[in-house]
């Protein structure tokens, strides 16, 4: 499971860098400043959670079940949160109106919050090794 978590973290990080560069260069010419800032928010949160997955994959202080739960929450959270932000920010570039999927952005954000909350609870409930 650690290899899967680490690989996913690396892939999400790589894609975040690609999308960040794409936004800074190609999209800069076709999006407004506000749309570009929105797109960059998606990139930033994707990168934060790529690094979070790397941490989860490397730590030995969490059970396999906890790691798997956090992994699933982060993957689906990033897809819903950052993915919907990318689509909403570039909405004017397509014929499809992505505003109808805007409701998934806070759902994705909630999944990310729950993932961090699970980590916090596990840390707080961990018995001291003294």
Helix (H) or strand (E) holding 122: helix 104-125
CA distance 110 to 119: 14
Q: Are 87 and 98 within 8 A, CB to CB? A: yes
pLDDT for the residue 128: 61
Name the band, by pLDDT with cuts 50, 70 and 90, for residue 71: very high
Q: How many residues does the chain have?
A: 130
Residue 130 has pLDDT above 80, yes or no: no
pLDDT for 72 equals: 98
Tell me the DSSP string of 23-36: HHHTGGGTS-HHHH
24-44 pLDDT, tens digit per residue, is 998 988 989 999 999 999 999
Torsion angle of alpha carbons 57, 63, 66, 67, nearest 10°? 10
Cα-based torsion angle of the residue sequence 122, 128, 129, 130 in order, rounded to the nearest 10 degrees:
160
Q: pLDDT by residue (tens digit) across 4-17?
A: 999 999 999 999 99
| Tally of CB atoms within 10 A around 69 | 17
Q: What is the DSSP letter of 113?
A: H
């Amino acid at each position: 499971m650690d290899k899967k978590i680490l690989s996913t973290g690396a892939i999400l990080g790589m894609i975040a860098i690609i999308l960040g560069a794409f936004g800074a260069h190609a999209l800069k010419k076709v999006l407004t400043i506000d749309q570009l800032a929105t797109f960059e928010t998606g990139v930033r949160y994707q990168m934060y959670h790529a690094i979070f997955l790397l941490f989860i994959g490397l730590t030995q202080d969490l059970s396999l079940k906890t790691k798997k739960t956090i992994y699933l929450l982060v993957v689906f959270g990033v897809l819903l949160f950052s993915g919907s932000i990318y689509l909403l920010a570039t909405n004017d570039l397509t014929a499809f109106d992505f505003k109808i999927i805007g409701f998934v952005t806070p759902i994705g954000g909630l999944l990310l919050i729950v993932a961090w909350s699970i980590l916090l609870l596990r840390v707080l409930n961990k018995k001291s090794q003294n």
